[in-house]
Chain A
Amino acid sequence: MNATAPHAGEDKCLLRPGNTNCGGCGMSVGLTMLGRALEKADDSCSMVIPACCGIVTAGAYPTTSYGVPTLAATFASSPAFASGYASVRDLNDEPGQVVCWAGDGGTYDIGLATLSAAAERNENIIYICYDNEIYGNTGGQRSSATPAGARTSTTPFGKTENKKDIMSIMAAHRIPYAATLSMAHPEDFARKMATALATEGTRFLLIDSPCPTGWKSEPEDSIELVRIAVKSGLFPVFEVFDGVRYRINIEPDGSDPAEYFNRQRRFDDDEIDLDGIRHFCAKRMKRLEALANLNSA
C-alpha cells in the first residue's frame, strides 16, 4: 500500500535476534509474522505498545529489540497514542502503518474503552491483540480473556467466568476488518495480515497466542496446542468485514478438545466440563455459520 515506504532499521527485521522472550512464545511468532507481512507488502510500520510482554521485549534503553519505530504507551492508552501519532503521519503524508501491539489485558480489560473509542472513530490504525489469556508480564493473573476453568495466580481455584467475546464487540463497531489468526495456519495468518495492511481505517487482529509460562505447557507444544484449538472449535478462525460480512476460514474437524486441556497444567482435568465446552463450541460455530450464510443469502 505504500510502495515507496522504506523499511525501518537497516536489518529490516521487526523483531531482532537476541531478544529475551520465552521459548515457545506465541507473541514472538506473531511479531515475526508481522515483519514478514510488511516486507512482502513493501510496507513499514511504527508500533505503539502498552504495558505487556511486548514492551518488555524491546529490552533496556538505549538498545532495542525492535527494528521499527516504537512508542511505549500507558496500559490503557495505545489506541489513543496511536490516534495522535497516526493523525500527524496523515497530516504530513508520511508512509507506514501505525500498529498497536497489545496483550489481552490491555485489550479486553484496561484498554477496552480506549480501543472502542478509536474503533468508533475508525482511526487509521491496525490493532493487534496477542491473546495469551493471561496477564503474562506480571506473572500470570486472570484477565477477562482467561477461559473458564483456568487456574491463574488470582484465580487459584480456577476461573469461574467465561472468556469475553472480543470479536463480537469489535464487529459491533462495524470496523472495516476484524479477523482471528492462528499460527498453526500460517498461510491464513499471512493472508489476513496482508488484508489488514491493504485496508484503510481501524483493523483488528486477534492472535491466539500460546504462553508456555502462563499456560504451564511445554514450549514445543505451542503450535500444536493452537492447532487443536482450531480443529476442536475452541478458537474459531474467521474474519468480519465492516462488522457484518462474516467468513469462516478454517472449519473445525470435530477433534476432541480434551487433549488441549490435558497438555496445559493451568487446567485441572477433573474440573473441566468437556461436554459443556463441546456444546458451547458447536453452538458458537453454528452462530458463526449462520452469520457467514447471511453473506451469500
Chain B
Amino acid sequence: MTEPLTGRGWLARIDGTNMVLFLSGDWSARDDVVRARMTDSLLERSNIHAIRFDSSNLGRWDSSLLVFLSSLREALARRRIVFDQTGLPPAARRLLALLPVAPPESTAPTRGIGSIERVGIWAIERWSDLIGLTTLIGETILRTGAAARGRVRTRLVDVLACIQDAGIAALPMVALVNVLIGGIVAFVGGIQLRRLGAEIYVADLIGVTEVREMAPLMTAIVMSGRTGSAYAAEIAAMQGSEEIDALHAIGIPVFDYLILPRLSALTSMMPLLCVYGGALGLFGGFAVAVAMVNISPASFVTQLRGAVAGSDISLGLAKSIAFGGWIAIAGCRIGLKAGRSATDVGHAATTAAVSGIVGVISLDALFDVCANAFGI
C-alpha cells in the first residue's frame, strides 16, 4: 500500500489499482468551502481502476459531501474508473441516484449576441413598436367614432373611476407644480426685466408663458409621471395575472374595456386641469411679482389682460387635449405589450413615464412650429 493522500474530511489509500477513500468528520456546506475541486488532483497522482469508500467515521453531512461525491463520480466516469458506492451512507446513495452522471448544462445566461444582431433586433423592435402604435391610434379613431354613435361596450363606472383618478385626485400635485412654476418664471423674468426698467412686462411674460406653454406642458408632465405610468403598470399587472387573456377569451374588446375609459378620462380632464393649473400658475406669478418685483396688483392685472389673447388660451387647451391623448395611448400601449413578470411591470411604468414626457415635449414643439406658421 502506498503513502496515503489526504485532505480535509477525507483520506485516500491506494492499494495496487484500487483506491479506498476514508470519509471522516462533519461536512457542512454552510461553513466550509466545498471540496469538490480537489477531486481532479486526487486522481492525477494515481493510476487506479476503482474507488471504494469507507464512511464509518463520517459525522454529520449535507450538500457539501454530495457535491464532492458527484464531482468525483463525474471525473471517474471521464477516466473510465469504477465508482463503487457501496461503502457510502444509504441516504447519500439515494441522493446520488437522483443526480445525473454527465455534467449538467451551464447556468450562465446566454449572452452570445453580436453588435450587428443587436442593431437588427433593435430596429425590428422599433418597427414593431411603430406598427403597434399606429394600429392603436387607428383603432382609437375608429372606436372613438363608434363611441360617439353609442356603439361601444365601455362601462360608465370605469370611465367615472378613471375620471376621478385623473381629475380630482391629481389636483394637489398639479396645483403645487404650477404655482411654483408661475412664481419661478415671475422671479427670474422680473429680475432680468428690472435691469431694463421694464419689470411691468413680467405680467406679459407670465401670462403668455403660462397660458400657451407652461400650464399645459407642466400639467402633462405631472400626469405622465403620475397617471400614464400607473396605466402602464396596472395593465402590465393584468397581463401577469392573465386578466387580458380572460378578456380576449370571453370576447370583450380590450379597447372598449381598458383603453377607452382611460383615454376619455385623460382627454376630458386634461383641459380642465390645464385651466386649473394655468390659473394657479398665474396666481403664483402674480404673488411673486407683487411681493418681490414691486409691481402693484392693479397694474399686473391690467397688463395681463392686454397680453393674453383668446388664441393663446385656445392653443393651450388644444395642446392639453393632445397631451392627454398621447399619455393615455402611450401608457396603455406599453402596458399591453409588457411581459408577465414583476420586473416587466416596473419596466412598463418607467417606460410609460419616459415616453409620455418625451412625447409631450415633442408634441409641444410641433404645436409651436405650426402655431408660428399660422401666425397664432
Same complex for A and B? Answer no
Which A residues are within 8 Å of any B CB, using their own CB? none
